[in-house]
Amino acid sequence: MLSTLHTNDAASSVTRLIDIGIESYKIAAALKGVVAQRLMRRLCPHCRELSVGQVPDRIKRWFPDQGTLYRGVGCTECSMTGYRGRLAVEEVLQANDEVERRIAGNESVERINDAARETGMRSLWESGVQHVRQGETTIEELLRVLEAPADPSAVTRSSPAPRASTSGTPAVPTRASSTSVEEEEPQTGPSTPASRRSGTRHSAPASFTGESFELVEDKQSKRPAAKRVLLVEDEESLRRVMKDLLEREGFVVYEAGDGVIALDEIDRLAPDLVVLDLNLPRLDGYGVLSHLRARPATQKLPVIVLTAKGDEDSEVRVFEYGASDYLTKPFRGRALSARIHSLLDRKAKSAP
């Protein structure tokens, strides 16, 4: 599902979703990513010229080499405005384990931002700075559309300016501009900004209505990620106990209370392993297993089935249905974690 929201930056969309009543753990489980975007006017290529020494002091640290900056002069190609066309600046927040954990833990926007930045998220401001440094737009345009970060440490910590010349991201804005430029308010002339800029200075960027957010393709986190386990169990107390145990061992744990939700969650979360109770509302464990084994994407997903004590038949049947292993209730926590570790090790070894 793709959706748009109006917020100041990508991470704030999480708190916006919480504000409209969605539980944080559901956001953590469902959110794949957020693209924050704003549009800036592009310098007219026919009449732009080099411009030196016009960087305001408060943003000088992002422009150590002022000589490469341009300004628009105005010509017939651009109706004397100096600008022609638009470009998108963006901030791409991708969900990863740490981002999910902080969202689920109701942590602040800043903390979510920090986690995303640690895995490479670049802010709207940094994206804008890069476009200025590449001569595609101007400092004036940058400051019209975005507020300069107030706190230097919040941005410089992840080395904004030097990275702009090396990160090789010009291809990224093209994608975004092609998807959402059409629905944006036109920004072809200097008169438009006045209507979008509020009279008072907020800490928030002035152009509050122009941005759009989209969910993006899920991408595997680049760093070695904690293993993700989905617990499918309708008894909440047992689920809790298992969750606590596995979280203490460093697993990222998701929960499902019935078989239908379980299949949904498996599609959305692509867990590394599933712990599956047999007795479930709506769709029982056999049904879940059949579905999983019938589909290529989940055919080899490790599944540990929880069977009831004294039901030897089910112990045989679960293997026929494709269970990787089983545990008979009641079981000890260590028995569960030992089986999980063993299955995940086996999976890791058999991976190409």
- Residues numbered 224 to 263 that lie near Zn ion (CB under 5 A) are none
Phi, psi of 64 (to 5 degrees): -65, -30
| Helices assigned H by DSSP within the chain | 12-19, 24-30, 97-104, 109-118, 124-133, 139-145, 152-156, 160-164, 171-180, 192-196, 236-248, 259-269, 285-294, 312-320, 333-350
Q: Which stretch binds Zn ion (CB under 5 A): 67-75, 108-116, 244-252, 335-343?
A: 67-75
Phi, psi of 120 (to 5 degrees): 105, 5
Instruction: Single out the residue of 18, 75, 172, 238 in contact with Zn ion (rule: CB under 5 A).
Output: 75
Residues 44 and 84 sit within 8 Å (Cβ to Cβ): yes
Chain center to CA of 288:
28
- In sequence order, which residues have a C-beta less than 8 Å from that of residue 249 and are 6 or more positions away? 337
Q: Which stretch binds Zn ion (CB under 5 A): 72-80, 120-128, 309-317, 336-344?
A: 72-80
- Provide the minimum distance between the beta carbon of 77 and Zn ion in the complex, in angstroms, as a whole number: 5
Q: Which stretch binds Zn ion (CB under 5 A): 77-85, 182-190, 209-217, 339-347?
A: 77-85
Output 64 or 186, the one with its CB closest to Zn ion.
186
- Provide the minimum distance between the beta carbon of 44 and Zn ion in the complex, in angstroms, as a whole number: 3
Question: How many whole angstroms separate alpha carbon 126 and alpha carbon 244?
Answer: 40
Output 78 or 292, the one with its CB closest to Zn ion.
78
Other beta carbons within 10 angstroms of residue 315's beta carbon come to 14
Q: What angle do CA 295, 300, 301 make, to 5 degrees?
A: 95
Q: Is 194 exposed, middle or buried (0-12, 13-18, 19+ CB in 10 A)?
A: exposed
Residue 77 binds to Zn ion (criterion: CB under 5 A): yes
Residue facing Zn ion at closest CB distance: 44
Question: How many whole angstroms separate alpha carbon 65 and alpha carbon 170?
Answer: 20
- Residues numbered 26 to 65 that lie near Zn ion (CB under 5 A) are 44, 46-47
Q: Which stretch binds Zn ion (CB under 5 A): 76-84, 213-221, 277-285, 329-337?
A: 76-84
Output 51 or 314, the one with its CB closest to Zn ion.
51
Q: Which stretch binds Zn ion (CB under 5 A): 73-81, 169-177, 195-203, 260-268?
A: 73-81
- Provide the minimum distance between the beta carbon of 73 and Zn ion in the complex, in angstroms, as a whole number: 7
Output 42 or 339, the one with its CB closest to Zn ion.
42
Q: Which stretch binds Zn ion (CB under 5 A): 74-82, 90-98, 201-209, 237-245?
A: 74-82
Count of residues interacting with Zn ion (CB under 5 A): 6
Other beta carbons within 10 angstroms of residue 280's beta carbon come to 22
Chain center to CA of 103:
11
- Provide the minimum distance between the beta carbon of 80 and Zn ion in the complex, in angstroms, as a whole number: 7
- Provide the minimum distance between the beta carbon of 50 and Zn ion in the complex, in angstroms, as a whole number: 15
Residues binding Zn ion (CB under 5 A): 44, 46-47, 75, 77-78
